[in-house]
Amino acid sequence: MEASRSLFIPVILGTARMGRMSLHAAHLVTEELGKCAGVETDLIDIAKLPLPTNDAGEAIKQADFSAKMSKADALVVVSPEYNHGYSGLLKHVLDSCLKEYIHKAVGIVGVSAGPFGGTRVIQNLLPVMRELGLVTIFWDVNFSSVQKVFNEDGTLLDESYIRRIDKFLKELIWMAKTLRQGRARISLD
Amino acid sequence: MNHHCDKIVYNVDAHDAGKTDPSLGGFIEEFHTCPECGGGASRHA
């Protein structure tokens, strides 16, 4: 039965920049998601998606990414803040799907070297998520001064993030379960 | 299939012009989900 199927909540790492500290944040969130009962996850690194850049939108849909978005009940987007915005490649990847996202939950993890923890990139991503048909939750995770949160090999130096991620994931999972029921059972008509 | 969403799609291609609902300025794409497997599908209304 649909209700007994595990939730699938992939984590999208939204940067291809060399030396990206967001990779450590994405690994941590994926690891914590993997500990949640009834949840399957996967880390999707946009740097590894073979999307062309001579076109855009659903015309460049990539089969494996599309299949994962179709299977997903919710998404986590881990995004660094570059010049107050998200990476162009993240937008390019997100725009390659549409129907795959409709009425699914999304939580955003902001990452920055400065003190604001990606709050501005999160605010910039919210209208994009809305237009894609995703339903945003009201918990975020903000990795401020990320170079002090992880050491170079990705070891977490500040355990307080575990509790913040736990609260974020609980809200995301609740929304994912609720929207799964809504998609399957509640009609517009 | 459960019909749970309508989205307006604004035409950018000339070949879609005939599908436009003049009262909306675009056409409606319907989104459906299977209650059993959770699989999704869409179609033009």
One digit per residue, the tens of pLDDT, for chain A of length 189 reads 566 889 999 999 999 999 999 999 999 999 999 999 999 999 999 999 999 999 999 999 999 999 999 999 999 999 999 999 999 999 999 999 999 999 999 999 999 999 999 999 999 999 999 999 999 999 999 999 999 999 999 999 999 999 999 999 999 999 999 999 999 999 998
| Residue in B closest to A180 by C-alpha | B38
Q: What is the pLDDT of residue B17?
A: 66
Q: Longest Cα pair distance anywhere in chain A, in angstroms?
A: 54
B12 CB within 8 Å of a chain A CB: no
pLDDT band of residue B16 (cuts 50, 70, 90) is: low
Please give the torsion angle defined by the CA atoms of residues A129, A132, A136 and A141, in that order, rounded to the nearest 10 degrees.
-40
For domain A2-184, the question of CATH label 3.40.50.360 is answered with yes
**Is A188 close to B29, i.e. CB distance below 8 A?**
no
CB B19 within 8 A of CB B9: no
The answer to whether A103 contacts B5, with C-beta atoms less than 8 Å apart, is yes
Q: What is the value of pTM for the model shown?
A: 0.94
Closest chain B residue to the Cα of A1, Cα to Cα: B36
Q: Give residue B45's pLDDT band: very low, low, confident or very high (50, 70, 90).
A: confident
Cβ separation B31–A1 shorter than 8 A: no
Q: What is the ipTM of this complex?
A: 0.82
Q: What pLDDT does A3 receive?
A: 67
Contact state of A133 with B5 under an 8 Å Cβ cutoff: yes
Q: Any CB–CB contact under 8 A between B24 and chain A?
A: no
Query: Hey, are the CB atoms on A5 and B4 less than 8 Å from each other?
Result: no
Which residue in chain B is spatially nearest to A189 when comparing CA positions? Answer: B3
Chain B residues touching residue A177 (CB < 8 angstroms): none
Q: Do A188 and B5 touch (CB under 8 A)?
A: yes
C-alpha A55 chain-centroid distance: 24
Which among A100, A184, A188 has the least Cβ separation from residue B35?
A: A184
Count of positions (residues) in chain B: 45
Would you call B40 and A183 a contact, using CB atoms and an 8 Å cutoff?
Answer: yes
Token readout for A77 is 């987007």
Domain extent listing, chain A = 2-184
How far is A98 from A46, CA to CA, in rounded Å?
17
Taking the Cβ of residue B33 and every Cβ of chain A, the question of whether any pair is shorter than 8 Å is answered with yes
What's the first-to-final CA gap in chain A, in angstroms? 24
Chain B contacts of A5, Cβ < 8 Å?
38
